[in-house]
């Protein structure tokens, strides 16, 4: 269970948000909404531990994520709006390396399988620089098919995806939720998903 208590985030002299309370239980989904510049990305970066809140605390099963450190990171997958895709590497190499970084090494067949499932069959060996924006996004999202983490924190995962891909991602996320996983995501697109509970957090 991920719990946030009284979170506050200040950027420079500007207070992005404060008094944020929520908790997400296994099987639950939380949408983070709000206009541009309201601090959605900053909140997600706090939740995954890239930066620390100016006040308040973030707890994973009752323990501060900063104390859990590597154990927490082993439980969580974050996909930022930068996908971590290298132009000069092929789709396959990109996927294998990003999985290795998440401490979940896969061989070429597993990687090719995942890429096939996400609709990139036949493009595994192309360097990422010739792929379209949506295809690059798919390479980044293919990691979700492989990792075994409980908590997924996704920043605008649906950007640049076509309707078929959106449907596919929806299925992947619902599968994770049905297994007792948790998803926290931002999106500008309307998307309906089944989950044990769906929370909406709107930043202003």
| CB nearer to other proteins: pick between 48 and 145 | 48
Nearer Cβ to other proteins (54/113) = 54
Is residue 56 within the footprint of other proteins (CB under 8 A)? no
The Cα 107–Cα 105 span in angstroms is: 7
Instruction: By CB under 8 A, name the one of 20, 102, 115, 158 that touches other proteins.
Output: 102
Site track 143-182 with other proteins (rule: CB under 8 A), x = hit: ----------------------------------------
In the block, residue with structure tokens 């296994």: 26
The verdict on 51 binding other proteins (CB under 8 A) reads: yes
- C-beta of 83: minimal distance to other proteins in Å? 6
DSSP states of 33-95 as a string? E-STTSSHHHHHHHHHTSS--SEEEEEETTEEHHHHTHHHHTTEEEE-SS----TTSBHHHHH
135 near other proteins, rule: CB under 8 A: no
CA distance 18 to 26: 25
> Quick check: 107 binds other proteins (CB under 8 A)?
no
Cα Rg, the chain, nearest whole Å? 17
Determine how many CB atoms are found less than 10 A away from the CB of residue 171: 11
> Does residue 125 touch other proteins according to CB under 8 A?
no
- Interaction of residue 52 with other proteins, rule CB under 8 A: yes
Distance, CA of 10 to CA of 55 (rounded, Å): 9
- H-state helical runs in 86-132: 91-101, 108-117
Does position 82 interact with other proteins (CB under 8 A)? The reply is yes
Which residue number, 149 or 176, has a Cβ lying nearer to other proteins?
A: 149
86 forms part of the interface with other proteins (CB under 8 A): yes
Q: Tell me which of 27, 33, 34, 80 binds other proteins, using CB under 8 A.
A: 80
* Sign, Cα dihedral of 123, 126, 128, 129: negative
Could you list the residues that contact other proteins (CB under 8 A)? 12-13, 48-52, 70-71, 73-74, 76, 78, 80-89, 93, 97-98, 100-103, 105
């Amino acid at each position: 269970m991920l719990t946030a208590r009284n979170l506050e985030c200040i950027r420079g002299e500007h207070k992005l948000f404060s008094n944020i309370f929520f908790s997400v239980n296994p099987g639950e989904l939380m949408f983070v909404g709000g206009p541009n510049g309201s601090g959605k990305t900053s909140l997600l970066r706090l939740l995954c531990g890239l930066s620390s809140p100016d006040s308040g605390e973030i707890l994973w099963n009752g323990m501060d994520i900063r104390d859990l450190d590597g154990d927490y990171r082993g439980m969580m997958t974050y996909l930022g709006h930068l996908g971590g895709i290298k132009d000069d590497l092929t789709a396959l190499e990109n996927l294998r390396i990003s999985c290795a970084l998440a401490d979940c090494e896969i061989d070429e067949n597993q990687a090719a399988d995942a890429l096939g499932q996400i609709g990139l069959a036949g493009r595994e060996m192309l360097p990422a620089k010739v792929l379209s924006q949506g295809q690059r996004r798919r390479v980044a999202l293919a990691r979700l098919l492989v990792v075994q983490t409980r908590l997924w924190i996704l920043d605008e995962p649906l950007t640049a995806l076509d309707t078929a891909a959106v449907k596919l991602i929806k299925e992947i996320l619902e599968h994770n939720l049905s297994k007792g996983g948790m998803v926290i995501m931002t999106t500008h697109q309307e998307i309906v998903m089944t989950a044990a509970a769906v929370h909406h957090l709107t930043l202003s």
